[in-house]
Amino acid sequence: MQRLILLITTLALAACSDPRQEVTAQLADQVLLPAHQQWLRSNEVLLETTRAGCAGELALAEIKQAFHQTQSAWSHLQPLMVGPLSEGNRSWQVQFWPDKRNMVARQTESLLDEAPELDQQQLDDASVVVQGLTAFEYVLFDEQVAIRERRDRYCPLLVGIARHQQALSAEVVTLWQQPEGMLEQLTTFPNGRYANADEALGGILRVQITAVDTLKKKLGTPMGRLNRGVPQPYQAEAWRSRRSTENLIASLEGAQAVWERVRSLVGDAQLVADIDEAYQRVHDQLDALPAPLMEIVQDPDSQAQLQSLYQDLDTLETLQQSDLARDLGIQLGFNANDGD
């Protein structure tokens, strides 16, 4: 399989003199596929660690660390999930957010009440709400769960979720690498998905820009921007594990990985400088947040800092969705969040 990947990429790069096709092939081989593979590896570690932890061979802290790494890999991947992961309801199986009605807690407990000896098939047939990292986080971090005293109740679910995530990520990586899969479709044109490199590049950028817009939502929702300014700390992503900010940084870095390849195609030097600066400003502001996001949104003294961060994210999105698209002459249309 590795030889097939190398052959596809080598042939594509050798055959094309079009810089856009070269960039698209590089994105596929050096950015998108490796991020999917890292996501798979993190899920393999999560499954192995969860099994050992539930068997009493590792401390719960080890499971938490493996979860953080998986969550980070998933966050990094979100601006890059072109193709299979964005289809067939797969991404909802990984993360259920926003959870406006505390459905994760309610459905998790309901499932375990109905199936106290939960098996893998029951979980795989259940709602996406209980199959992903959000439910895993609930069990591992929620103060009401007390997993240390109830391992018999919750460990089958943790192992089941980890196994579901490992199988899902393995399936997606296989779909990427198989003949006529995403790797080939992003390197040789025309194909059943894209007529040319411009279409493929537009598809990648559309996913990336949607992810930047999602970063705004993940910041703005707990800030209360959709709730007349009333903070909603429990709508922060990963509020139970206090990892909202780290996840935002990982997603930003995923989006920036696309930009770092695309910037060579941009003819406007000032636009390149503006987008570079926008990424740096957002990254610096996220790094400077003094506490977990769910705490900061409740602090009146932090509101100016949060508003500035939100505005910088908005600027970054506009620079790419409007100015970058215009410079490249690519029609991006609406992102997938428009209308939410």
Would you state the pLDDT for residue 228? 87
Indicate whether 34 and 181 sit together in one domain: yes
* Predicted pLDDT at 148: 82
19/113 same-domain check: yes
Is 167 part of any domain? yes
Residue-level pLDDT at 2: 56
Q: What is the reported pLDDT for 1? A: 56
Domain count, the chain: 2
Percent of the chain scored above 90 by pLDDT? 88
Q: What is the CATH number of the domain that holds 163?
A: 1.20.1420.20
What's the mean per-residue pLDDT of the chain?
93
Give the type of residue at 16: C
Tally Cβ neighbours within 10 Å of residue 297.
24
Encode pLDDT of 126-172 as tens digits: 999 999 999 999 999 999 898 888 999 999 999 999 999 999 999 99
Q: In this structure, are 236 and 264 located in the same domain? A: yes
> Do 42 and 176 lie in a common domain?
yes
Residue 215 within a domain:
yes
Q: Which of 185, 217, 250 is the last residue of a domain?
A: 185
How many angstroms separate the CA atoms of 277 and 319, rounded? Answer: 11
Judgement on whether residues 141 and 226 belong to the same structural domain of the protein: no
Q: Is residue 190 part of a domain?
A: no
Residue 131's domain spans which residues? 2-185
Asked whether residue 149 falls in the same domain as residue 224, the answer is no
Q: 214-252, pLDDT tens digit by residue?
A: 999 999 999 999 888 899 999 999 999 999 999 999 999
Which pLDDT score is estimated for 13?
46
pLDDT number for residue 11? 47
Same domain, 207 and 227: yes
Question: Measured between alpha carbons, how far is 209 from 317 in angstroms, rounded to an integer?
Answer: 6
**DSSP letter assigned to residue 17:** -
User: 281: domain CATH number?
Assistant: 1.20.120
Q: Domain for residue 333, yes or no? A: no
